[in-house]
């Protein structure tokens, strides 16, 4: 066997895709913009339907609120309903942006605000013209545009680097024969020295053999195959983790942040559902009541864009809870309009930051799995938040009780953010260190 002649094959080594932060990325923002509007925007505007359904069926506030809460929970339980569009679109947005990710998230989530602003009075007009049943049919046709949003999503292309190596056809392993000297060095104890390199996605091992005869190569190949069997299990684990990173549930920081999400979800969705009924119970005319959600949506938009730069999550959540606790003090249209403006501003501040913070907590390459687990666990808050608020409304015969419940839940959720801020891992740099956790820009993701 001539050591000067080596058979080599070229195999592309796939590198992780790089976020372009521009170009086609803005079409991903457009898709996410429409998805936010046609999912959460519709849910926020659904308070107009709540009044009609509540009146038509003569049900309690608790029973009627299940309509919205089930829709919210469906979004959060990944793989059903709205989740088929919302979850992958938000994940793609995180992959397409890195430096401009906070701004991209803020612009995309603005779709929820703009469509809430448009749809709330539109829904009231459709109900008056076609009844609530006919309005729901039109709404269903409108949401077929989610299919167009899905067509805009394209996977990032990976960067390929060419490396010379002898390619083994089985089990994805590679066998590379490298000379360990020239013709003069072949006169040593070994006539020819070869280096066999075994590599897979995660581990590399090197076997050096001193070959007296070229026929020894098959024996070494059998040893390689034996080692190959030991790599099957880690390789399977790598493939599973690529799609579902179940190790996240053992991450203390991620679980504390997810607990924050559960309590926040208890208070996030109830106010939007009960704002219009609360205004109608105070004697405010139906279109004025619908206009309150539009006012909230405008300030929500401003809050998302502005606080997408400032990124003060804990402060925004505490302020949002405080605003909700003050809501029952409002009774006139002007007072409720002021509340709607304040509520929309701080609500936008909170929702524009929390996904960005999640990406910083777990790292962008784990965002897909993290978002799935986060939404799944948080679904309990979205499911039970409106019915719990409805229960207090039924017990106290006052829609203001629902806002009190939501405010308390949000302030409790902020406590978990403060707890996460106090967590100081001491694992020799294995976990991220949070200097000022409330600022997402100062977070350091895991490596």
pLDDT score at 259: 93
Q: How far is CA 117 from the centre of its chain?
A: 24
CA distance 43 to 427: 43
Q: What is d(CA 195, CA 210) in angstroms, rounded to the nearest whole number?
A: 9
Model pLDDT, residue 360? 79
| Gap between the Cα atoms of 310 and 441, Å rounded | 9
Helix boundaries (H) for 198-311: 217-230, 232-243, 252-268, 270-281, 286-310
Query: Does residue 162 contact residue 12 with C-beta atoms inside 8 Å?
Result: yes
Beta bridge partners of 409: none
Q: In what order do the strands lie in the sheet with 204-211?
A: 174-179, 192-199, 204-211
Q: Are 45 and 37 in contact (CB under 8 A)?
A: no
Regions of the chain short of the pLDDT cut 50 = 1-11, 161-212, 220, 426-447
- Domain topology for 25-156+242-442: Growth Hormone; Chain: A; (1.20.1250)
Domain ranges in the chain are: 9-16+162-237, 25-156+242-442
**Which pLDDT score, from 0 to 100, does residue 390 have?**
93
Whole-number pLDDT of residue 179: 42
Q: What pLDDT score does 193 carry?
A: 42
pLDDT for the residue numbered 426: 40
For 314-370, write each residue's pLDDT tens digit.
Answer: 888 999 999 999 999 998 999 999 999 999 988 888 877 777 788 778 877 777 788
User: Maximum CA pair distance of the chain?
Assistant: 102
pLDDT recorded at residue 439: 43
């Amino acid at each position: 066997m001539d050591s000067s002649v080596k058979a080599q094959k070229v195999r592309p080594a796939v590198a992780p895709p790089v976020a372009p932060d521009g170009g086609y990325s803005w079409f991903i923002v457009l898709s996410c913009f429409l998805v936010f509007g046609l999912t959460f925007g519709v849910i926020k505007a659904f308070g107009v339907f709540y009044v009609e359904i509540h009146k038509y069926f003569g049900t309690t506030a608790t029973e009627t609120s299940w309509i919205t809460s089930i829709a919210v929970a469906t979004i959060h339980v990944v793989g059903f309903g709205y989740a088929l569009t919302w979850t992958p679109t938000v994940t793609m947005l995180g992959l397409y942006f890195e430096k401009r990710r906070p701004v991209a998230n803020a612009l995309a989530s603005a779709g929820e605000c703009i469509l809430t602003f448009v749809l709330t009075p539109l829904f009231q007009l459709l109900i008056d013209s076609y009844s609530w049943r006919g309005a729901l049919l039109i709404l269903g046709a409108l949401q077929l545009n989610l299919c167009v949003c899905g067509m805009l999503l394209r996977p990032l292309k990976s960067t390929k680097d060419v490396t010379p190596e002898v390619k083994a056809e089985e089990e994805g392993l590679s066998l590379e024969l490298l000379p360990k000297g020239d013709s003069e060095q072949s006169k040593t104890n070994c006539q020819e020295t070869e280096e066999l390199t075994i590599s897979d996605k995660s581990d590399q091992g090197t076997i050096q053999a001193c070959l007296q005869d070229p026929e020894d190569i098959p024996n070494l190949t059998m040893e390689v195959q034996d080692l190959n069997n030991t790599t099957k299990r880690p390789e399977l684990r790598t493939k599973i983790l690529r799609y579902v990173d179940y190790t996240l549930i053992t991450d203390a920081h991620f679980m504390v942040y997810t607990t924050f999400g559960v309590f926040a979800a208890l208070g996030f969705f109830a106010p939007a559902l009960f704002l219009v009924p609360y205004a109608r119970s105070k004697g405010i005319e139906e279109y004025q009541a619908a206009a309150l959600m539009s006012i909230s949506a405008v300030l929500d938009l401003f809050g998302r864009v502005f606080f997408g730069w400032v990124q003060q999550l804990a402060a925004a959540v505490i302020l949002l809870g405080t605003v909700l606790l003050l809501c029952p003090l409002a009774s006139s249209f002007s007072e409720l309009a002021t509340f709607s403006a304040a509520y929309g501003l701080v609500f936008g501040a909170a929702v524009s930051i929390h996904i960005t913070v999640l990406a910083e907590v777990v790292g962008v390459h784990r965002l897909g799995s993290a978002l799935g687990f986060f939404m799944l666990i948080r679904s309990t808050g979205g499911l039970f938040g409106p019915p719990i608020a409805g229960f207090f409304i039924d017990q106290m015969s006052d829609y203001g009780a629902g806002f009190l419940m939501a405010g308390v839940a949000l302030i409790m959720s902020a406590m978990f953010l403060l707890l996460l801020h106090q967590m100081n891992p001491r694992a020799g740099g294995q976990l991220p260190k949070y200097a000022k956790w409330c600022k997402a820009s100062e977070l350091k993701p895991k490596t």
